[in-house]
Amino acid sequence: MKTVTYLAATLTLMIAATPVASDNHSRLLADALSAAPVSLHDKVTVMDWDNNVLQEGSSNYVCFPTPPTLQGTAPMCLDGPWQKWAEAWMNKQPHTPSEFGVSYMLAGDEGASNIDPYAEGKTDDNQWIKEGPHIMIIVPDPALLDSLPTDPHNGGPYVMWKGTDYAHIMVPVSME
């Protein structure tokens, strides 16, 4: 057993690996690992959305496959600070990061509002964006975000969800 803080929990729990059907296991593992840099593939814990451990890891990163409620692709790999952030976001709780955090979504995602953390689809006024491979950064002092643009089409990093407890820096990356 290993102590793992995972995305959907409010506590650190002892989780024993649960067998997952082989084909599904391989598919979920490959999807989750597509979010992380190759250098982390053998170091990350990978969990499915039912909290089954698909791979034990030695780093503080936990990778998740695309959520089953989404069509398309959106796997993610979160470090410890990002896991706390995601827990707060999922539970609609206040959150101020206590430290710098890095999250990987190197397979990209199928879209989100750039201004509304809880938008479920594109509207005329919510700046819906589909992002290719990217890294996300949270910082402990929101004032550090003040000088960065919020325009997702500026050709570089930008702040997503500025002015909310979930504001973070989106850094598009090339996978070439």
What range defines the domain where residue 74 resides? 2-172
pLDDT at 3: 41
Pick the residue with more confidence: 175 or 118? Answer: 118
pLDDT of 18 over the 80 cut: no
Label the pairing between strands 128-129 and 76-78: unpaired
pLDDT at 51: 85
Q: What proportion of the chain, given as a percentage, has pLDDT over 90?
A: 69
Pick the residue with more confidence: 69 or 14? Answer: 69
pLDDT at 134: 96
When the pLDDT of each residue in the chain is averaged and rounded to a whole number, the result is: 86
Q: What proportion of the chain, given as a percentage, has pLDDT over 70?
A: 87
pLDDT at 10: 30
> What tens digit of pLDDT does each residue of 121-136 get?
889 998 999 999 999 9
* Element containing residue 82 per DSSP (H, E): helix 80-90
Task: Name the residue among 159, 136, 27 with its Cα closest to residue 76.
Answer: 136
pLDDT at 176: 66
Residue 166's contacts (CB-CB under 8 Å, 6 or more residues apart) are: 85, 88, 89, 95, 117
pLDDT of 70 over the 70 cut: yes
Q: Is 86 helix (H, G, I), strand (E, B) or coil?
A: helix
pLDDT class for 72, splitting at 50, 70, 90? confident
pLDDT class for 21, splitting at 50, 70, 90? low
> What tens digit of pLDDT does each residue of 46-65 get?
999 888 999 999 999 999 99
- Structural domains of the chain, count: 1
> What tens digit of pLDDT does each residue of 135-176 get?
999 999 999 999 999 999 998 999 999 999 999 999 999 876
* Element containing residue 31 per DSSP (H, E): helix 22-33
